[in-house]
């Protein structure tokens, strides 16, 4: 009956969760609004704010879960991948907390945790399944054979899908993170108003760096004729951009499903909150006979509940790390 405290601090969310025997009983997320006007996360600012948020977030999570720290059985934390300074705050806190309370430490890979968020609630995917993991830093198609037996079968060669959303938003003068705002405008626009090229990338890989440049030139050319182009057509621009990114993502996912003869299909990560991606995937569920798994909104973007569920399964397997553990900006499965 383990009770696990979990810490997530890989980017700009300080999050703390409690998992009581496989059930999430608290998931506190302290968002950082300080980055809004910079068009992206400023690493130095992110680590400072984590430092301020982490102790109150832990106290709040324990209060919500109605758990005393003496009742805990383990401390799980994000070891990587992520921003080094941000990770350092969470890893150092987890190590000190575990040392003080003589608790085992559980290291969690952030990208695996996004996928394992599917094991928080029902329905849970059946192994093996394919997961399209789309976030601000990663875009991967992962063949998930077991909780911690995962193989990346395709990934982006440059920018992530979340970056394509965020950089487009910056060009449109929308604040960071731009993904949710593009999604909001897209709901009012025509997805077929403008066309953008689909990059021809080999196998199951992606590329989004050319996309940003295409948008930049597209806006520049239209603004030459109409300086108010963005303001007048923001909904159609957002709907078309979103439609294009979703198509690119799903075309490779369809290819992967065929190649691996797999009909158990999941999405995970911040971009899995996108309404266009969610509805396009549901449409494929019917046309291709897939079993589709879409996370609850609160488990799409960064959260410690996913770290807690991953930590719980590692606890059951007796997989712990020592005090010498250090954060890793890059971390493989
Ligand atoms: O997983 P996440 O919270 O952090 C990373 O691990 O990177 O993902 C953040 C990314 C950002 O790029 C953000 O713009 C994007 O997820 N995002 C969205 C939506 N909500 C968040 N992108 C498109 N549509 C959304 N509704
Ligand atoms: Zn993430």
Q: Where residue 322 falls among pLDDT bands split at 50, 70, 90?
A: very high
Mean pLDDT of 1-29: 97
User: What count of Cα atoms within 13 Å lies in the side-chain half-sphere of residue 143?
Assistant: 14
Distance 111 CA to ligand 2 centre (A): 7
H, E, C per residue of the chain: CCEEEEEECCCCEEEEEEEECCEEEEEEEEECCCCHHHCCCCHHHHHHHHHHHHHHHHHHHHHHHCCCHHHCCEEEEEEECCCHHHHHHHHHHHHHHHHHHCCCEEEEEHHHHHHHHHHCCCCCCCCCEEEEEECCCCEEEEEEEECCEEEEEEEECCCCHHHHHHHHHHHCCCCCCCHHHHHHHHCCCCCCCCCCCCCCCCCCCECCHHHHHHHHHHHHHHHHHCCCHHHHHHHHHHHHHHHHHHHHHHHHHHHHHHHCCCCEEEEECHHHHCHHHHHHHHHHHHHHCCEEECCCHHHCCCCCHHHHHHHHHHHHCCCCECCCCCCCCCCCC
* pLDDT for position 266: 98
Is the pLDDT at 41 greater than 80? The verdict is yes
**Ligand 1 pocket test target in 110, 165, 174, 185 with most atoms within 8 Å of CB:** 165
pLDDT on residue 325: 98
Best of 270, 278, 280 to mutate for ligand 1, by most ligand atoms within 8 A of CB? Answer: 270
pLDDT at 251 over 80: yes
Among 133, 124, 129, CA closest to 145: 129
- Nearest ligand, measured from the Cα of 139: 1
In this predicted model, what pLDDT tens digit does every residue of 252-307 receive, in sequence order? 999 999 999 999 999 999 999 999 999 999 999 989 999 999 999 999 999 999 99
| Residues lining ligand 1, Cβ inside 6 A | 11, 135-137, 162, 165-166, 177-180, 183, 269-271, 273-274, 301-302
* 55-114 pLDDT tens trace: 999 999 999 999 999 999 999 999 999 999 999 999 999 999 999 999 999 999 999 999
Taking the C-alpha atoms of residue 313 and residue 318, their distance in angstroms, rounded to an integer, is: 9
Domains assigned to the chain: 3-115+300-316 (3.30.420.40), 123-295 (3.30.420.40)
Going by pLDDT thresholds of 50, 70 and 90, the confidence category of residue 31 is: confident
Instruction: Give the ligand 1 atom nearest the CA of 137.
Output: 7
| Residue minimizing CA distance to atom 24 of ligand 1 | 274
32-57: average pLDDT: 90
Ligand of minimum distance to the alpha carbon of 307: 2
Query: Distance, CA 271 to ligand 1 centroid (Å)?
Result: 4
Q: What is the mean pLDDT of the chain?
A: 96
Q: How far apart are CA 184 and CA 194, in angstroms?
A: 18
Predicted local confidence at residue 9, as pLDDT: 98
| 103 vs 36, more confident | 103
Atom of ligand 1 nearest to the CA of 163: 12
pLDDT at 32: 84
What percentage of the chain exceeds 70 in pLDDT?
A: 100
What average pLDDT does this structure show over 143-163? 97
How high is the pLDDT of residue 77?
Answer: 99
Q: 35 pLDDT exceeds 90?
A: no
Ligand 1 centre to CA of 269 (Å) is: 7
From the CA of 138, which ligand is nearest? 1
pLDDT higher than 80, residue 39: no
Smallest CA separation from ligand 1 atom 23, residue = 179
Q: Binning pLDDT at 50, 70 and 90, where does residue 50 land?
A: very high
Average pLDDT in the 141-168 region? 97
State residue 40's pLDDT score.
82
**Ligand minimally distant from the alpha carbon of residue 113:** 2
pLDDT above 90: residue 314 = yes
Distance in Å, CA 179 to ligand 1 centroid: 6
pTM of the complete model: 0.96
- Tell me what the mean pLDDT of segment 176-191 comes to: 97
Determine contact, residues 310/112, Cβ cutoff 8 Å: yes
The alpha carbon of 136 and the centre of ligand 1 are apart by a number of angstroms equal to: 5
pLDDT, residue 104, reads 98
């Amino acid at each position: 009956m383990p009770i696990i405290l979990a810490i997530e601090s890989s980017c700009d969310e300080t999050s703390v969760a409690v998992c009581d025997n496989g059930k999430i009983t608290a998931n506190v997320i302290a968002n950082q609004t300080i980055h809004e006007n910079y068009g992206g996360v400023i690493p130095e600012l992110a680590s400072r704010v984590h430092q301020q948020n982490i102790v109150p977030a832990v106290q709040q999570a324990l209060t919500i879960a109605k758990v005393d720290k003496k009742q805990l059985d383990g401390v799980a934390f994000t070891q990587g991948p992520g921003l080094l300074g941000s990770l350092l705050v969470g890893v150092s806190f987890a190590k000190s907390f575990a040392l003080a309370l003589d608790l085992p430490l559980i290291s969690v890979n952030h990208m695996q945790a996004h996928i394992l968020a599917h094991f928080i609630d029902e329905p849970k995917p059946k192994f093996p399944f394919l997961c399209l993991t789309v976030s601000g830093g990663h875009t991967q198609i992962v063949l998930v054979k077991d909780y911690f037996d995962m193989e990346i079968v395709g990934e982006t060669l440059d920018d992530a899908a979340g970056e394509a959303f965020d950089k487009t938003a910056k060009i449109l003068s929308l604040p960071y993170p731009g993904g949710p705002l593009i999604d909001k405008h897209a709901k009012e626009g025509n997805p077929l108003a403008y066309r953008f090229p689909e990059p021809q990338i080999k196998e199951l890989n992606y590329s989004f760096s050319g996309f940003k440049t295409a948008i930049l030139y597209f806006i520049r050319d239209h603004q030459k004729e109409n300086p108010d182009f963005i303001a007048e057509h923001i909904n159609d621009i957002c709907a078309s951009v979103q439609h294009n990114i979703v198509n690119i993502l799903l075309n490779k996912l369809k290819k992967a499903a065929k190649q691996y003869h797999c009909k158990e299909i999941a999405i995970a990560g911040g971009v899995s909150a996108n309404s266009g991606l969610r509805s396009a995937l549901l449409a494929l569920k019917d046309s291709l006979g897939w079993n589709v798994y879409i996370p609850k909104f609160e488990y799409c973007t960064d959260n410690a509940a996913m770290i807690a569920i991953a930590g719980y399964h590692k606890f059951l397997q007796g997989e712990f790390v020592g005090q010498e553990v250090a954060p890793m900006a890059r971390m493989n499965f």
